[in-house]
A = this chain, B = another copy of it.
Amino acid sequence: MSHVYRLVISCPDQVGIVAKVAAYIAEHGGSIVEANHHTDSIEGWFFMRHEILASSITSGFEAFEKGFQAVADAFDMTWYLSDSEQPKKIALFASKESHCLADLLHRWHENELPGEIVCVIANHDDLRSMVEWHKVPFHHIPVTPETKPQAFAATEALFQQYGADMIVLARYMQILPPQMCADYAGQVINIHHSFLPSFVGAKPYHQASARGVKLIGATCHYVTQDLDEGPIIEQDVIRVTHSQSIDDLKRLGRDVEKTVLARGLRYHLEDRVLIHGNKTVVFS
C-alpha cells in the first residue's frame, strides 16, 4: 500500500467545493490516488474523500493540514486529514466466541489489516492463549450485573492507557453503558448476527429459524445508545434452507459475521466511512 494522506470532508452542498479543494491539493503538488464524492440531494449535504500520495506533498503533513483550515472554514466543513502510516489503534472486545477475534488477529498477523491491534479485553478468560500467541496483550475483565459500573470503568481506563482510537466489539455480548456509547460515538464498531433491521436483540438465529427466512445475514454498524439501531457500515447474507438446523445457521452465520466485520472495519480504518445522521456514506 502506498503511503498516502486521506482528506475526508463533509459539509453543506454548494457550487465550487470540489474546485477549491482540488486547487488546494494541486497548489501543494498533491498527486491524487483516489477521489470520491457524494452529494445527498435530499439533505443538501456533500461528502468527499481524497487519497493523496504523501511523497507528493512537499510541504509536509502539518503544513498541508494547517493550511487547509481556511478552505474548510469557507465551506463550513467537518473534516480531517489522516496519515496511512499512522494507523488507527484498535482495542478488540471479546467474550467466549472466537471466530471474529481469530479472523481479525489472523488478518493483522498477515499484515492485511490497515490498523494496529493494541489489546484484547474480554469478559471471559477462554481466548487468552490465542490472543497471546499473536503477541497481543490480553485482559480479562469479568462483567456481572453487580460489577458492571466498575468493570466498564476499568475497561475504559485500559482503553485509554493503550491510547486506542477505536473499539471493535468482536461478538462481545455485553451492552456498553450509554455514556460510553456517547463518548466514543463513531469509534465503536459492532457485528450483529442478523441482517438488520430483521431480528434485533437476542438470539437472532433462533428468530430467523422460527420465521423460516431463506437467507441469513450479518450487519456491521456503529454502536449508539439505541441497541442495534446505529448507522450501518456493511451487511451480507448467505442462503439457507429448511434442512438447516439452528446450529447450522450459527455455523453458516459465523462465516458471514467475520467477513462482514472484516470488511466494515477495513472501511473504517481506511477512513472510507462518513457518518451523517443515522446513515453512512461508504466510499468502498
Q: A19-B19, A19-B26, A251-B112 are in contact. Are A34 and B212 (CB under 8 A)?
A: no
Question: A33 an interface residue at 8 Å Cβ cutoff?
Answer: yes
Q: A15-B29, A34-B37 are in contact. Are A214 and B234 (CB under 8 A)?
A: yes
Q: Please determine whether A211 and B199 come into contact, CB atoms closer than 8 angstroms.
A: no
Q: Please determine whether B232 and A214 come into contact, CB atoms closer than 8 angstroms.
A: yes
Contact of A217 among B34, B98, B99, B215 (CB under 8 A): B215
SS of A interface (majority): mixed
How does the 8 Å CB contact mask read for A25-40 relative to B, with 1 for contact and 0 for none? 1110111111111111
How does the 8 Å CB contact mask read for A232-273 relative to B, with 1 for contact and 0 for none? 111111000111010100010011000100100000000000
Question: A280 an interface residue at 8 Å Cβ cutoff?
Answer: yes
Complex: chain B residue closest to A21, CB-CB? B22
Question: A161 an interface residue at 8 Å Cβ cutoff?
Answer: no
Question: A198 an interface residue at 8 Å Cβ cutoff?
Answer: yes
Q: Please determine whether B215 and A196 come into contact, CB atoms closer than 8 angstroms.
A: no
Contact of A211 among B18, B197, B254 (CB under 8 A): B197
Distance, CA A18 to CA B198, complexed state (A): 38
In the complex, what residues of B have CB within 8 A of residue A237's CB?
215, 237
Complex: chain B residue closest to A39, CB-CB? B33
Distance, CA A34 to CA B243, complexed state (A): 9
Q: A19-B25, A37-B35, A102-B106 are in contact. Are A232 and B255 (CB under 8 A)?
A: no
Question: A186 an interface residue at 8 Å Cβ cutoff?
Answer: no
Q: Using CB atoms and an 8 Å cutoff, list the residues of chain A in contact with chain B.
A: 1, 15-16, 18-23, 25-27, 29-42, 56, 98-99, 102, 106, 109-110, 112, 129-130, 133, 195-199, 211-215, 217, 231-237, 241-243, 245, 247, 251, 254-255, 259, 262, 278-282, 284
